[in-house]
Chain A
């Protein structure tokens, strides 16, 4: 089955039609998506700064990460759920768009680095230069994900 055929099928499913035809549903799902990304971005920024030895320094990295990382995973879960609904509602706009795949590739990277940062915090990783480098890369990737996400609309 070709991608176009798959997208046609997906956009004709009951769930897709329900979202498409419910007034304000796509907008509402997008707003939840944006609220979660804002929360995630700020948590990621706090974690990154702390990993690089800055920001909320009164607390050990391990302790801050133990609180922030689970919250980040919750945000990610909601982002994935709302994202899936948006894909189902508008398959051509997403699955048919190369920029969407750029976003997903960056997201995969971000998820790997989230695991790394959480582990680095738990084991009290001593290599400060490495921590700073990964933390910086991490924020650049999340920034790239946001930009790619916005550019989906301009394809």
Chain B
């Protein structure tokens, strides 16, 4: 990414205001929406693996919870972008930040594959033990999101710029 763009971004009035005054508030909002994203995903994934809420159809649980996941994810993306803008050059070069972004993309791809392929046949396993592909998707999802949160926290320990 163009260094000029990153410098321009962190020099905008909004980015400066966040960097100087609003960072803790934007960050707190980011944590809250992250909690909703990760927490709802964990509830759905543990059901997908077949560990919890087994008497509820999987599709019912996912249909009720995933709108919250997506809504909160949108808010996380917005707050995350605002946080990024406050120190664009610093975060861009930060290794845990980069790993977090890669894991987010992988989590998204995992979810997309599940939606488009594995979920197609849900009526066959909605009330019984999900097939291996579904359980694997759930396990991968949990692992990736733990990684997103872990590396996300790590950013704070390595970001000095």
Question: Which chain B residues lie closer than 8 Å to A71 at the CB level?
Answer: 52
**Known contacts A38-B38, A40-B39, A150-B24; A45 and B68 CB within 8 A of each other:** yes
Q: A37 to B43, Cβ gap below 8 A? A: no
Interface residues of B: mostly helix, strand, loop or mixed? helix
Shortest distance in angstroms between A77's beta carbon and chain B's nearest beta carbon? 17
**Known contacts A27-B157, A45-B36; A151 and B28 CB within 8 A of each other:** yes
Query: Which residue of A31, A35, A39, A58 contacts B56 across the interface (Cβ within 8 Å)?
Result: A58
Q: Which of B21-51 contact A (CB under 8 A)?
A: 24, 27-28, 31-32, 34-40, 42-43
User: Is A143 located at the chain interface by the 8 A CB criterion?
Assistant: yes
Question: Which chain B residues lie closer than 8 Å to A16 at the CB level?
Answer: none
Shortest distance in angstroms between A103's beta carbon and chain B's nearest beta carbon? 12
Question: Which chain B residues lie closer than 8 Å to A34 at the CB level?
Answer: 31, 149, 153
Q: Which of A36-74 contact B (CB under 8 A)?
A: 37-43, 45-46, 55-56, 58-59, 67, 71
Q: A42 to B31, Cβ gap below 8 A? A: no
Shortest distance in angstroms between A59's beta carbon and chain B's nearest beta carbon? 7
Q: A42 to B24, Cβ gap below 8 A? A: no
Question: Which chain B residues lie closer than 8 Å to A56 at the CB level?
Answer: 56, 60-61, 64-65
**Known contacts A38-B39, A45-B39, A146-B35; A31 and B153 CB within 8 A of each other:** yes
Q: A42 to B42, Cβ gap below 8 A? A: yes
Shortest distance in angstroms between A75's beta carbon and chain B's nearest beta carbon? 9
Shortest distance in angstroms between B116's beta carbon and chain A's nearest beta carbon? 25
Shortest distance in angstroms between A93's beta carbon and chain B's nearest beta carbon? 14
Q: A27 to B153, Cβ gap below 8 A? A: yes
**Known contacts A31-B150, A38-B34, A147-B28; A59 and B39 CB within 8 A of each other:** no
**Known contacts A31-B153, A34-B149, A67-B53; A41 and B27 CB within 8 A of each other:** no
Question: Which chain B residues lie closer than 8 Å to A143 at the CB level?
Answer: 32
Q: A residues bordering B, Cβ < 8 Å?
A: 27, 30-31, 34-35, 37-43, 45-46, 55-56, 58-59, 67, 71, 143, 146-147, 150-151, 153-154
